[in-house]
Each structure stands twice: as C-alpha cells, then as structure tokens.
Amino acid sequence: MISVRNLEKRYGDLRAVSELSFEVERGEIVGLLGHNGAGKTTVMKVMTGFLEPTRGTVTIGGVDVTADRIGVQRQIGYLPENAPLYPEMLVQEYLLMMAELRGIDPGDRVPAVADAVKATGLEGRLVQPISTLSKGYRQRVGLAQAILHRPDVLVLDEPTNGLDPVQIVEIRDLIRRLAQTTTVILSTHILSEIEAVCSRVVILIDGQLAADDTLAHLLSSNVVRVRVGAGAKDVPRVLAKVEGVESVKREGERGGYSEWRAICAEGVDATPAIARAALDAGWTIGGITPETPSLEQVFRDLMARHVSEARQAPKKSPSKKEVAA
C-alpha cells in the first residue's frame, strides 16, 4: 500500500532524511517512532505530497507522489500535528466545507459528513463553534476531516500531542476503530503510543532507519532469568549444558536466591529446557522467566548504538556534488 524507497530529503546542507526505505501493507497500523528532530514529520510531508523528495521515491497504492501528487492525496487522509481548523466556524460548517474541497459530489456531502461525525463521536458538537471545543474534540474534528472521503490510507502526525490522559485513551480507541477499514501510519515520540495501538514500528534516528519490525519481535529477548536457592550447586555448568544456551552470567543474590541470566542463541526459546535442567538438579526454583525488554530500553539501545557508530565513522568533507544537492 505504501512504499518508501531510498528516500532522502535535504534542507540546504541539512540532510533531514537519508536513504530511508520501508513498506506498509494494506490494513496495518504502523508507528513511525523517533526522537524530536528524527525526521518523522518530514517523511510524512513527503508521503502526503507537501514536500518533494531530494532523492528516492514514495508511492501510495502504486501511485508515485512526485509524478501524481493529487492522485496520491485522493487516497490519503492527513492529520498534521496542528490540525488545520477554523475556530470561528461551526463543526458542521467546517466539515461540509472540507467535503466540498475534497471534491465529494454535492449529493454525497451530507452522508459523508454524517459518517465521519459518527465515527469520531462528534454527534453532540455539530452546531458548536470549533473555538469552544476542548483539545480532544478539536483532534476529533481534525480526524473527521481526514476520513470524509473514505481514504485508503490515514496519516497521523502526533495525534495525541498535548491531550490529557482521558482524551489520549479516546483518540487511541478511535484510531483502532478507523484501522478496521483503513491503513494507518502514525508518527510519535511517545513510546506508550506505539505500544497501545501499533503492531509494527519503524524507528528513525537522525533521519536514518534504525529498526523496522513487528512490536512483538522487537520486544522479544534471547535472555532467560533464573532464580534458584542460594545453596544450588554447579549452576553455571548445568545451565551452560542446556541446548541453546550460549553463556551464563551471575547477577547476585536477593531474598535467599541466587540470580542468573542465561543468554540463548537468537530465536531459541530455552525456557522449558532450563526448567527441566533445574528440576533434574534438585534446585529450589524461585523463578525461570524470559526477559522482556521495554520499548524504551530497545529505543535507548538503538540510540546508544547509533551514537557509537557515529563516533567511530571516519569524518569526511562533503563533495561539491553533495553540497550542490
């Protein structure tokens, strides 16, 4: 549905996005995650035709955004970080105007607005001036205008930015409902946002692709934590003999138990085998559990790796061709 290939975007000498490639399949909810300034908004503006790429291609539904910007925008519903609203207008006036701007046939505009209002829970706010709405309801109005034309793709830039906890939950529920019929890509720097609504995440660091994977795989681990009675004997030797275990590290003692980390081969779940080995050894078992990293830890590790690689990379002056670009 969405294809980004070797995308690069420069602002003068500043390279905001560099050699970025990823795909989004129909029906996915994909989170575009990164720190402030990572290039998320730039990618979305290129994707929606508001910026031209310096190099590379972006296609939506097989249509190239550079070759046919209007053709791409017909397929997309877009909610920028600051929703483009007119505060002096009533909610229904604004949505009817947006339906007209979207090119919806006159006879279909009222039904289209009615469907969008129902989907976003705005039934009780239609004759209310937008200026009197809470920020949560203004976000709903922004989402309503984005789905008026029943787009195939919904692009959301920081959709819960500045909302209170109750409003955040409401917008997340709304995004999940919309995703039943629409491909959704949303950008955020809030880790809990990704965990709450996305099944897959694309992580950007300084405009470069740092990770592109399912959330389940990113949060998996090849480490098993083992807690056994402090008197257990030969723990490292017994654990090291378990098939799939590559190394064993002692973590210390706590509450009468010694704690160990068994590092396993990639893709191997050695937890059942470790449990059997512990039982056979006659140890008192306090717990044998796979270690599950948080998305925050995954992101911090990626950032640390990126910084380390950047420091080790040889510095070179830009060529005349790069500067001209």
Instruction: Please report, as a single letter, which amino acid is at residue 27.
Output: G
What is the CA 271 to chain-centroid distance, rounded?
A: 30
What is the CA 241 to chain-centroid distance, rounded?
A: 39
Say what the pLDDT of residue 320 is. Answer: 52
Q: What predicted TM-score, i.e. pTM, was given to this entire model?
A: 0.76
Of 99, 81, 89, the closest CA to residue 133 belongs to 89
Q: Determine how many CB atoms are found less than 10 A away from the CB of residue 290.
A: 16
Domain architecture of the chain: domains with CATH: 2-75+151-218 (3.40.50.300), 223-290 (3.30.70.100)
Question: H or E element: which one contains 174?
Answer: helix 165-178
**How confident is the prediction along the chain (325 residues), in pLDDT tens digits per residue?**
899 999 999 998 899 999 999 999 888 999 998 888 889 989 999 999 999 999 999 999 899 999 999 999 999 999 888 878 999 999 999 999 999 999 999 999 999 999 999 888 899 999 999 999 988 889 889 989 998 998 999 999 888 877 788 878 888 888 888 888 889 999 887 888 888 889 899 999 999 999 999 888 888 788 899 999 988 899 999 999 999 999 999 988 888 999 999 999 887 888 999 999 999 999 999 999 988 888 888 888 888 887 777 777 665 555 554 554 4
Q: Please give the torsion angle defined by the CA atoms of residues 53, 56, 58 and 63, in that order, rounded to the nearest 10 degrees.
A: 110
How far is CA 119 from each of CA 132, 171, 179, 303, rounded to the nearest angstrom? 21, 11, 11, 38
Q: Where are the alpha helices (DSSP H) in 222-319?
A: 235-240, 271-280, 295-312
- Coil, strand or helix at 15: strand
Separation of alpha carbons 78 and 43, rounded Å = 13
